[in-house]
Each structure stands twice: as C-alpha cells, then as structure tokens.
Structure 1
Amino acid sequence: MSASGGTKAIIAALLANLGIAVTKFIAWLLTQSSSMLAESIHSVADSGNQALLLFGGRQARRKATPQHPFGFGRERYVYAFIVSIVLFSVGGLFALYEAWHKFADPHPIDKWQWVPVTVLVVAIILESFSFRTAIVESNLVRGKASWVQFVRRARAPELPVILLEDLGALLGLIFALFGVVLTLITGDGTWDAVGTTAIGILLITIAIVLALETKSLLLGESATLEDQAKIEAAITAGPEVERIIHMKTLHLGPEELLVAAKIAVHGHESAEDIARLINSTESRIREAVPIARVIYLEPDIYHVPAAAEPTPATS
C-alpha cells in the first residue's frame, strides 16, 4: 500500500468525523438521546484514532538509530493496535454503559424530535463519502483479493483500519437511526437503548478484529506469497546460484522487508566470484520487490541428504 493512499483515506475520515461529532453532540444536548450520545463518543473516538494513525505514520519515517538499527517502520503497527484499544474502550464499552443507563430510565425523546433524525441522515451521507474514499484507495492495492483477504493479509494497517472504522460508523449510524425512529414512533425510550446496545456490540466486535490483525503484524509477518515467489525467482534467475537452501522474510514495517537466505553456490567459486554473485542477486531481488530494503545472503555448498536406510522388517 502506498503511504499516500492511506493518508488520503485517513484525512477524509478525520474531516468527516470531526464535523459529524459536533452535530451529534448538539443533537444529544437537545434531545438527551442515548443513541446520539453513543454516536457522538464514537465519532470522537474515530477522530482520535485517525489522528493516531497520522502520528504513527510520521513517527515511522524517522531514520534508523544505533538503538533501532532497522528503523521505526513498526510504529505504524503500534498505533494501529492502540486504535483498536480506543475503539473497544472509548467507543464500545461506553456505548454499552450508556445503553444500560437508558434501559434503567427509558425516557422518550419529547423535544426537538426532528433533530436526531436529520443529523443521523446527514451523517450517513457524509460517512458514505468517507467510506467511498477508503474503498477507492483500497482497490488500488487490493488486487484480486476479497475484502476479507485484504483486511487479513494487508501488511500496511491504515487502509484496513479505516475501512473497518468507516463500515462500523455507517452501521452504527443505521442502528442509531433505527433506535431513534422507533422511539419517536412508539414513545418508548427502550428502543433508543436497543440501538445504543447494537452500537456497542458492533464497536467491540470491530475492535477485537483489529486487535487480532494488528497483533499479528506486531509479532512480525513474512512477505506475501506473491512477493516470496518473486524473491525466489530473482535469486534463482542467475546461473551462479544452484538453489535456495532456505529463506526467511520479515516485514520491518509496511514498506520495509528483510530477506535472509542461504543459497547454494558452485564449489569452485572464488571469494571474489561469490561477492560478485551476491551483489548481483541482491540487485535482482530489489528490482523484483522494491520494498526488500535489508538483504542477507549466505553462500553455502549444497549436499544432497543421504537417503534414509530402510528399516528391517520384523516378523
């Protein structure tokens, strides 16, 4: 994923959520609707999350130091994980708390009835534009992967996070509209509490999915299968390399890949020849996969493993 694509989607979501948060808070102050309060806090949490993603991207661009020789690319994973925590606590748990409070005192919306419906409809329209931006930017890098595969396999966290946040925001607005409209029709504030409960469960579910995916990135994931195939083809493309004995890859960040491989070379090669073949092999790898920034190649002589002797038959 290009960093510019992720940043564009983040900024679009941030601007939408800031405007939506203000109007939701005004609607809550006028109507005291629990769904509106839950959605207000949800928008504030989303705005904070997008600010965290932007900050994480900035931190990740710092140059490597002696203490952090591979750089700070994983900062983007760290802040994406923090986003999941914020979404779980500030968004999901608060919504469930507000729903519990509203179930205990299910007062109807008896003033400014048109305000929450208007605000929610406008918010759905604005959030749809933000979601559309995230979809367009994701399609540029998604390839043939399904949306589930894209969220699970993406090595850059920003677009999957924004996609899930925007999807959650849209569904949350629909749940809030459902609760508010039924409260206005029936005069029973319990429906408002039901909508708030649905928002809380939705946000907690999305937060758990994000936490699991970013945890995997934090632990360190290998290159995609497509990139691994390109690297293997680049290594064996030169006649001086007999075969790959073993290879490991690791993402140091969304756009920084470490490649370590033991390669089999011909036994008669001189040290100068081996140095030359390593340099040419590294060039082929970087040409095939530009994000392969750190490459370690270990030359060795490949020995065919001796065939295991057959086990004597026992009577």
Structure 2
Amino acid sequence: MTEPHGVAAHIKQNVVLYGALAANLGIAVAKFAAAAISGSSSMLTEGVHSLVDSGNQVLLLYGQKRASRKADASHPFGYGRELYFWAFVVAILIFAVGAGVSIYEGLLHIQTPNPIEDPSLNYLVLGIAFAMEGASWAIAVREFNRSRGEQTWWQAIHRSKDPPGFIVLFEDSAALIGLIIAALGVWASVHFQDARIDGIASVMIGLVLAGVAVLLARESKGLLIGEAADPHLIGRLRAVLDGHDRIDAVNHIRTIHTSPQAIFVAISADFADDLRMGEAETLIEKLECQMKALSPWITSIYIRPEKRADAMVW
C-alpha cells in the first residue's frame, strides 16, 4: 500500500472531516425543522443521525489535535494512539446515541403513530441532504482510494491505521442508506395511509447505524490494542536483512503502529559469529538507514543480535 507523506495525508484528512462536519450541521438543522413541521419519525431520526455524525467529526478533529502532541518522558513514543481512543468513542456514540435513539423513536412512533399530512417538505430536505451527503461521500471515497492502492476496499479498511479516513466513509455511506430508507418510509406511510411504516423506517435506520457502529468498534479496538505494520512493508524489511551475508538468520520482526503515521520496529537477528562489536554497530546503523528509507512512517528501529530461535514474523 502506498504510504503518503504524513503532513499531506493529515491535511487531506482534515479537508474530509471539515467538509463532512459542515454538511452534517446544515443537514441536521434542515431535518429537525422538517420533522417538527411534518411530525415524521424517520425525519427526526435522520436529524439525530446527522447531529451525531457532526459530533463525531468534532471528536475526531479533537483526537487528531491530541494525538499530534510531541513525545515526552511519560509517553516516549508520543500520543498518536490517543486518536484510536477517540475513534472507539465515536463508535460507541454511533451505537448508543445514533442507533439507540433511532430505534427508540421508531418503536414509539409505531405505538403512537402520527400521520404525515404533507410530505413535500420531507422530500425537499431529503433530496438536498442526499446531494450534500453524496458530495461528502465522493470526497471521502476519492481520498480513501488514493491511499488503498491495489487493495480491495475491505482489505484497505481492515489494514488501515488511520481511523478518520474510514470512519467518515462509513458514516457517509450509512447516511446515504438512511436517507433512502427515510424517503421510502415517508412515501410508503403516505401511500398506504399507515403512519406506522414511518416508525419502521426509523427502526431500520437504527439497525443500519448499529451495524456500522459494531464494525467501527471492531476496527478501532484492534488499533487501540496495537496493530502491526502492513505485511508488504514487513516483507520489505525482511528483504533488507536477508540481503546481508553477515546476518545468518532473522529470528523475528515485530512492528506496531504508535500512530497512523508512526511505526516502531523491533528485530531479532543472528549475526555472524566472527562479527566484531564495532563492525556490528556499523552494520546496524546501515540497516537502520536502509529500513527507514522504505517508509517515512518508520520512526524507531531496535535491532537485537542474538542466537537463532524459531523464526517468527509478527
């Protein structure tokens, strides 16, 4: 996978986040207004959905700011993984607030249905929202495609170490699906003269949000615990070691992302028995330079000479 320069990727990522934030705030106001006028449950649900998405973007921007702090004595590898914590919080909010409120409001509307007298305003707001969400989604897809290289979408999402990129993509995708469900719910409730259908649409939107939240929580949990670098990069690191005749064997290569654009590398290798201390130091320095040239994201490398054990690559 192609690894963009950290600063450039951060700027592009902020463009996606700010664009999604502006779109969701405007859409939320319009949806709440339409819900208040028409009494539509699915419109109210969609308003909550957009409001939650807006809060999520604010949290991700805050997480980026916190994660950008420099390393200190308390956190020698920096604060980069704090972004993963806020990404996990976002997943919880989508599930608890977005999905929870949507399902609750839907069930309430099914029990005490409120007929929609004039759906025209709902259709207008949903149409505008679909156009704005579609534009935000297109930007998110474009930036995500630039970073995923030749990987499939699922591979890129699963291997991504940059939560804001795929979170915005998931949120916008869920938003578009939710808008379609809301429009169908409004139309069906009017067409069949059954206001309960609008409530059913709210429950369906909530289930979509719950599914997205579970998926995001799963990906964020892995990052929070600590994930290895891309397998392709690990393979290139091994190739550097295998290319030296003074290294008899590589015991293991262990990597971990300390932030989306920072990787720590720990290596155990069996150096030639006749290699002197000074020569080993020179070789280690050379290896570190070659490895750091492979990716601007490699920030720290630790190479430990030791006798061969069972070969492992983590």
- TM bucket normalised to smaller: over 0.9
C-alpha RMSD over aligned residues? 1.6
- For 2:265 and 2:309, how far apart are their aligned partners in 1? 23
Q: How does 1:117-128 map to 2 (within 5 A)?
A: 117-128=123-134
Instruction: State the Cα distance separating 1:115 from its structure 2 match.
Output: 0.5
Show the counterpart of 1:309: none
Aligned ranges 1:73-152 → 2 under 5 Å: 73-110=80-117, 112-152=118-158
CA distance in 1, matches of 2:236, 2:279: 24
Deviation at 1:235, TM superposition (A): 2.5
Task: Give deviations 1:77-96, integer Å, cap 9, x for gaps.
Answer: 11110110110011000000
Distance in 1 separating the partners of 2:255 and 2:58: 31
Structure 1 residues 44-65: Cα deviation after superposition (integer angstroms, max 9, x where no partner): 0000001111111111110111
Q: How does 1:294-313 map to 2 (within 5 A)?
A: 294-302=300-308
Q: 3-state SS of the aligned residue for 2:250?
A: strand
Q: Is the 8 A contact 1:120 1:173 kept in 2?
A: yes
Gaps spanning 5+ residues in structure 1: where?
306-315
CA distance in 1, matches of 2:86, 2:157: 17
TM norm structure 2: 0.93
Structure 1 length normalisation: TM-score? 0.93
Distance 1:23 1:230, change over 3 A: same
Post-superposition offset of 1:12: 1.5
List structure 1 segments (4+ residues) > 4 angstroms apart after TM superposition. 301-305
Q: For the residues of structure 2 that align with 1:303 and 1:121, how far apart are their CA atoms?
A: 63
Quote the Cα distance in structure 2 between the aligned partners of 1:303 and 1:28: 66
Aligned residue identity for 1:98: E
Q: Alpha-carbon deviation of 1:289? A: 2.2
2:19 to 7, 12, 15: 12
Aligned residue type for 2:133: E
Alignment match of 1:291 (pick from 265, 273, 297): 297
- Farther-moved stretch of structure 1 (112-121 vs 275-284): 112-121
Match of 2:179 in 1: 173
Deviations 1:222-263 (A, max 9, x none): 111111011111223334333312221111111111111111
Measure, in 2, the Cα distance between the counterparts of 1:303 and 1:192.
63
Q: How does 1:110-259 map to 2 (within 5 A)?
A: 110=117, 112-259=118-265
1:274 to 280, 301, 309: 280
Distance 1:74 1:289, change over 3 A: same
CA drift of 1:6 comes to 2.0
Q: Alpha-carbon deviation of 1:5?
A: 2.7
Q: 1:35 aligned to 31, 37, 42, which one?
A: 42
Counterparts of 2:159 and 2:304, CA distance in 1: 29
- Tell me the amino acid that sits aligned with residue 268 of structure 2: K
CA deviation profile, 1:101-126 (whole Å, cap 9, x unmatched): 1011112112x431011100111111
Partners of 1:182 and 1:303 in 2: how far apart? 66
Return the alpha-carbon distance in structure 1 between the equivalents of residues 310 and 300 of structure 2.
29
Q: 1:142 to 1:303 in 2, by over 3 A?
A: closer
